[in-house]
Amino acid sequence: MKNNNPKFYTRLKYLATISSTLLSIWFVLLIIGVFKNSLSWIVLIAIGSAFAFITLISLALYFYLRFKFMHQSQYEHTKKDLLKWSLAMISYSLGWLFAIINLMVILAHDKISILNLKIILIVMGIIMIIFFVLASILEMMSRINEHSFFNQQEYQMLQEQKKRKKKDIISNENLSNETYNHRTKEAEIFLKKNNKNPFTDENNRKEGE
């Protein structure tokens, strides 16, 4: 099965977007919880663990499907495309890894001073976001040529469909005209054979008498 629909790849990208968004939201909650003491450590750890697990599943599914359909695609990927895609995967993975580091730091919060804790969380969180942004950019760049190829194919297919439809319409019109002309000729022949003028017939009878 070959999937050459560019919209499919855009929808597939949502898996990676959801992953980076969830961990970014968790980082914001983490900063709010640490600096304002509005959230307990248990809540932050629970949210972080859940988001990290969901992100891991989403990224794994995204990597698998993207890799699978890249090989099934009719488009021949260049070395630059593959390099960008590889760097995007690495960046997503590193972003997730730094989120896990933050989670581990929180688990050991009672062994770290509050000042050092804040510094570590902020630095790790910023690095995580940078990797996610970089991954998103690289992933988008890796499929620009591929999308262009698919869009061109889709355009050509639509043009061919329009041409076929136009030919069918012209063919049907010609067939209708031929049928109409044929029936008209048959009708004329029939009328000529069966056409009787009553006045002519009456005059002929009088002359005969």
- Residues 21-53: tens digit of each pLDDT: 899 898 888 888 888 776 788 888 898 899 999
For the chain, the domains span 6-142, 160-208
Place of tokens 């929808």: 11
Q: What is the pLDDT of residue 36?
A: 79
Residue 13 to residue 88: CA distance in whole angstroms: 12
**pLDDT score recorded for residue 98:** 93
Task: Give residue for tokens 């008498």.
Answer: 209
Q: 24, 52 in Cβ contact below 8 A?
A: no
Instruction: Kindly report the backbone phi and psi dihedral angles of residue 195, in degrees, each rounded to the nearest multiple of 5, phi listed first.
Output: -80, 120
Q: 37 is written with which tokens? A: 């003491």
Query: Whole-model pTM?
Result: 0.67
Could you report the per-residue pLDDT of 112-126, keeping only the tens digit for each? 888 888 898 899 999
